[in-house]
Chain A
Amino acid sequence: MSFVETMIPPQAPPPAPPKAYTLARFVGSVTLGIWLALGVGIFLTVVNGWDPAKFAKYGPSFLSGLGVTLMLVACSVVLGAILSLPIALGRMSKNKIWSWLAYAYVYFFRGTPLIAQLFLIYYGLGSFRPQLESVGLWWFFREAWNCALFTFTLNTAAYQAEILRGSIESVPRGQREGAAALGLPERVAFYKIILPQAMIVALRPYGNEIILMIKGSAIVAIVTVFDLMGETRRAFSRTFDYQMYVWAAILYLLMVELLRNIWAWLENRLTRHLKR
């Protein structure tokens, strides 16, 4: 009878088979190479075309344009949030007239381009000058900035009303019934039970809406408001230097990415009780 006296000594595993050079790898290298080349190209044009005089001249105006953009977006989003409340209530109301009116408002502002609305108000209200003067509102609509703020507020109110309505209606019926079963008054149930749950649902769409507003605000440059885009166009028309657009692109990307990351962090933080 024979038996094993010694174990086979441990051996290193066989070498991993060489990774096949697939088409996907080739495509990946090429596309990444293109991005890298573009990045380096833009960097080099910026470095080669760097002109301290230009930077000193247009740098501050870019910053002021950035301020105008942020100011416009912040004001219109806040004012739009306030205006969206009655519209969302109208959309949800059982009264046919109110709900139809709110629906028409939302449909109009979501169905037409923001730029057409801006033209309608900035150029269109100019033909009602005598009437506006007699009401005493002409000083407001004379300024392009005010018109832009007005249009953006109306526009974002329509979108925000839909976000609000969608999120409130997404709260399950059982929550409302549970609150009623506990004997909570309707008001308390709304503020303490429905709204907090709705706001968590609405958080992401609100973030998207702010990002859309930042991007959409670029069109005010066409009606002579010198926001970031307006300053860029002015600088480009004076220098014919393509770099100006690169700078604007970088600033816009920075703004949007920053906001997106803040929003992701915020959402993570606020929904941590829902994670398992």
Chain B
Amino acid sequence: MSGLFAGFYSILAWIGSIVDPFCGPVGVFRWLASGTLLACGDAGWGDEIAYGFVVTASLAIATLPVGLLIGFFVALGKQSEERTVRLASNIYTTIFRGLPELLTLFIVYYGLQILVQQLLASFGYDGPVEINAFFAGMIALGVVFSAYCSEVLLSAFKAIPHGQYEAGAALGLHRGRTMRLIIVPQLVRIALPGLGNLWMALLKDTALVSVVGLPDILRQTGIAARVTKQAFEFFGMACILFLVLAMVSSIIFSNLERWTKRAEMGR
């Protein structure tokens, strides 16, 4: 079984190395930067920076579902009829929208470390505990994202007329199916521009996780800058890579928006 997985993984890695836009056979760095500081392999920093690019993108992509899911339920909580639920969700957004992302990250990173350490100490283990920076970043950014996301989703919920829920009830759908079949498709259409902005903010916030040691774009270029003493070039490279990410995601989002609007009449 594990052999199957290993084979599958190696095939994936092989495909990845073929289509790698940086150091693959048709990669940018391999063609344009061989012989310079950005060359691939041991000669330059191309492959390290490419790895950082992958880490940044995968952190943002891994955070997105976490943030969306929490944000959806917090938005539901904010329009609940129960006062306690509303209060609890409002406290959540107030706290996580008010704290700086960096501070949230530190609180999660060190806080989790202390918590896990105390937990393990109560079981009789007191070795050093190291929390994965990727995991801590995912939690911290996901929490911040969900706080903003709940506001976007809340205003989208308010834009859906009450008649839609009543129509669902009249058709005999129970609440979960009304939500899934009637409300959420419209919600996505209304909330997508706001969610696009939040995704851009998330993409930029991932740079903060480099501070707790995640080898993302900024950390890898920072190491390269320190070693080669060419800080301007490497940090400029980091900015360009973030711009590339922003451009790619804006293209994806405008296509998505077109896709969700295909049912509407052309005006």
Contacts and interface: CB of A to CB of B under 8 A. Distances in A.
Given A27-B85, A29-B84, A32-B84, A116 B235 contact: yes
Interface residues on A, range: 35 or more
A249 B82 contact: no
A25 interface: yes
Contacts of B267: none
13 contacts: A24-B82, A111-B242, A112-B238, A112-B246, A113-B206, A116-B218, A116-B238, A124-B225, A126-B231, A217-B100, A245-B103, A249-B99, A256-B97
Interface stretch (A47-55, A190-198, A218-226, A267-275): A218-226
Interface in B67-119: 77, 80-89, 91, 94-95, 97-103, 106-107, 110-111, 114
B231 A127 contact: yes
A253 B104 CA distance: 12
B85 A117 contact: no
B5 interface: no
Contacts of B239: 108, 112, 116-117, 120
B121 interface: no
B87 A32 contact: yes
Nearest to A220: B102
Given A120-B238, A215-B100, A242-B110, 9 more contacts: A24-B82, A27-B77, A113-B207, A119-B235, A123-B231, A229-B103, A236-B110, A242-B111, A245-B103
A214 B99 CA distance: 9
A115 interface: yes
Residue from B77, B210, B235 with most neighbouring chain A CB atoms (10 Å)? B235
B101 A112 contact: no
A156 to B, nearest CB: 14
B208 interface: yes
Interface of A: 22, 24-25, 27-29, 31-32, 34-35, 107-108, 111-117, 119-120, 123-128, 214-219, 221-222, 229, 232-233, 236, 242, 245, 248-249, 252-253, 256-257
Interface in B40-82: 77, 80-82
Contacts of B238: 112, 116, 119-120
Contacts of B82: 22, 24-25, 27-28
B211 interface: yes
B231 A124 contact: yes
Contacts of A222: 211
B137 interface: no
B218 A113 contact: yes
Contacts of A116: 207, 218, 235, 238-239, 242
Interface residues of B, number: 49
Most B CB within 10 A of own CB, among A111, A126, A218, A252: A111
Contacts of A124: 225, 231-232, 235-236
Contacts of A123: 222, 225, 231-232, 235
* Dominant SS among interface residues on chain A: helix
Contacts of A249: 99, 103, 107
Contacts of A35: 88, 91
Interface string B167-178: 000000000000
B261 interface: no
B229 interface: yes
A257 B98 contact: yes
Contacts of A119: 218, 222, 231, 235, 238
A258 to B, nearest CB: 10
B205 A253 contact: no
Contacts of B225: 123-124
A113 B81 CA distance: 39
B36 interface: no
Contacts of A108: 239, 243
Contacts of B211: 115, 222
Interface string B196-213: 000010001111101100
A120 B107 contact: no
Contacts of B200: 111
A25 B84 contact: yes
